[in-house]
Amino acid sequence: MIQNIRGFRDILPEDTKLWQKIEKIASELFKDFGFKEIRIPIIEKSDLFVRSIGQTTDIVEKEMYTFEDRKGDKLTLRPEATASIVRSYIQYKMYAVNPIKKLYTIGPMFRRERPQKGRFRQFYQINAEVFGISSPYIDAQLILMLNEFFKRLGIRELNAHINSLGCFDCRPVFQKVLKKFLGSKKDMLCSNCKTRMQENPLRTLDCKALSCKKALYDAPSILNLLCDECSNHFNTVKETLDKQNINYIVDKNLVRGLDYYSRTAFEIHTNLLGAQSAVAGGGRYDALIKELGGPEIPAIGFAIGFDRLAEILAEMGALGQTTKIQGPDIFIISIGKKSLETGYFLSVELNLQKIKTEINFDKKSLKSLMKKADKLNATYVLIIGHKNLETNGFILRNMNTKEQITISRENTVKEILEHLK
């Protein structure tokens, strides 16, 4: 038997209702805040991700699904959506008339990480990006939107962590100071960080190895070395969040796993999912559009981990675990070949009138089919038997009240619709 690939899973029918609910709440929230949906390809040229996410990140070094197609082009299954949305923004010159664009997308991403609770190789993200606004108010607004999204879903126990990663003026100063500090702790660093500390010292702050975490506990803080502009920007973000009563924790070691960020970076954490505690992450990436060949336009965005969110909600019993699965409006019971044909045409006609139906295609006794209707949690059964065909009438039975009426053969759909109103 062929099974799915490790880290790739099916979202089964009993779970998709929850996924649809999350999607609906997300789309409504985005609409409320003026976002429009964009849909982007699942595969892009590898270079797009290497250049945006950064050569020395875990994603690019170890996790991308990269392959050559039949013509030898190097392609990658998207590990995230931001790079593709930026590519599209530049490619279609979305900045031409008005550079301000608010876009969102929901879909699967692919990273070859070690699968565990809350971590998959195909996972889904709800992704939002804002182009063309450099004001710190928009940074606070995105954090507020995340807050509101979780509130609408009824999730409360979350912590927002925020930091500033500075800009291309002040970050090099911090990198120098950090390198010096790392030099003094070199023995404690993992082999990966020993190499990374030269080219990309900030990455060491993100390392999950326990020895590195210990070594970096009292690492210098970038917040002490921000230039005036970055410092003012970060202060306004914090003040705005304070005024909006949004709780947050300033986390000086928060650097995010992608290299394109500058200034504000944030993550939303939960303690409901063990080690995989981040349910959302994002930040400003003011240099990326230019870096990928577009004009100098600021940008900021976030992505929510759909799978992790669904897991939290399932654990919370968000849909009320005791509620029965919704059954068909009408279970059509047809007894005999002739009545099956009548039942089949009737069921389609009812479907076209937005009435959910189920029908038995196999021959069974009335008793066992009534039992099946019960099991399916049908609201009504419509019985089409030999006798009923002869008398030109069908029986419509309410499964809750046990009340029955006769429906005429000529006006079946009309009479059913009237009765169900």
Of 279, 288, 289, 384, the one binding ligand HAM by CB under 6 A: 279
Q: Which of 397, 308, 389 is nearest to 345 (CA)?
A: 389
In angstroms, rounded to a whole number, what is the distance separating the alpha carbons of residues 285 and 124?
Answer: 22
Tell me whether residue 129 or residue 259 sits nearer to ligand HAM (CB atom).
129
Read off the amino acid at residue 119: R
**343 near ligand HAM, rule: CB under 6 A:** no
> Which positions ≥6 away from 116 have C-beta within 8 Å?
275, 276
Q: Between the CA of residue 350 and those of 345, 357, 384, 417, 418, what are the distances in Å?
A: 9, 7, 15, 9, 12
What is the DSSP code string of 376-412?
A: TT-SEEEEE-HHHHHTTEEEEEETTT--EEEEESTTH
In angstroms, rounded to a whole number, what is the distance separating the alpha carbons of residues 397 and 403?
Answer: 6
Work out how close the CB of 62 gets to ligand HAM at its nearest, in angstroms, rounded to a whole number: 12
In angstroms, rounded to a whole number, what is the distance separating the alpha carbons of residues 122 and 373?
Answer: 37
421: helix, strand or coil? coil
Tell me whether residue 134 or residue 398 sits nearer to ligand HAM (CB atom).
134
249: helix, strand or coil? strand
Work out how close the CB of 266 gets to ligand HAM at its nearest, in angstroms, rounded to a whole number: 9
Tell me whether residue 155 or residue 381 sits nearer to ligand HAM (CB atom).
155
Cα angle, residue 171 at apex, residues 167 and 175 outer, rounded to 5°? 165
Of 99, 136, 201, 282, the one binding ligand HAM by CB under 6 A: 282
Contact of 337 with 386, CB cutoff 8 Å = no
Tell me whether residue 127 or residue 339 sits nearer to ligand HAM (CB atom).
127
> Which positions ≥6 away from 41 have C-beta within 8 Å?
78, 84
Phi, psi of 231 (to 5 degrees): -65, -45
Residue ranges in 97-126 that form contacts with ligand HAM under rule CB under 6 A: 111, 113, 118-120, 123, 125
Dihedral through CA 41, CA 300, CA 128, CA 311, nearest 10? 110
Of 52, 58, 76, 80, the one binding ligand HAM by CB under 6 A: 80
Scanning 21-29, 281-289, 388-396, 402-410 for contacts with ligand HAM by CB under 6 A, the matching segment is 281-289
Read off the amino acid at residue 176: K
**86 near ligand HAM, rule: CB under 6 A:** no
Tell me whether residue 5 or residue 97 sits nearer to ligand HAM (CB atom).
5
Tell me whether residue 139 or residue 329 sits nearer to ligand HAM (CB atom).
139
Work out how close the CB of 303 gets to ligand HAM at its nearest, in angstroms, rounded to a whole number: 4
290 to 329: interface string for ligand HAM, x by CB under 6 A: -----------xxx-x-xx---------------------
169 to 208: interface string for ligand HAM, x by CB under 6 A: ----------------------------------------
Residue ranges in 200-259 that form contacts with ligand HAM under rule CB under 6 A: 257-258
Tell me whether residue 7 or residue 393 sits nearer to ligand HAM (CB atom).
7
Cα angle, residue 91 at apex, residues 90 and 95 outer, rounded to 5°? 40
Q: Which residue is nearest to ligand HAM (CB)?
A: 305
Cα angle, residue 250 at apex, residues 300 and 150 outer, rounded to 5°? 60
Tell me whether residue 302 or residue 380 sits nearer to ligand HAM (CB atom).
302
Give the total of residues touching ligand HAM (CB under 6 A): 26
**394 near ligand HAM, rule: CB under 6 A:** no
In angstroms, rounded to a whole number, what is the distance separating the alpha carbons of residues 357 and 365?
Answer: 19
- List residues near ligand HAM by CB under 6 A: 80-82, 111, 113, 118-120, 123, 125, 127, 129, 257-258, 278-283, 301-303, 305, 307-308
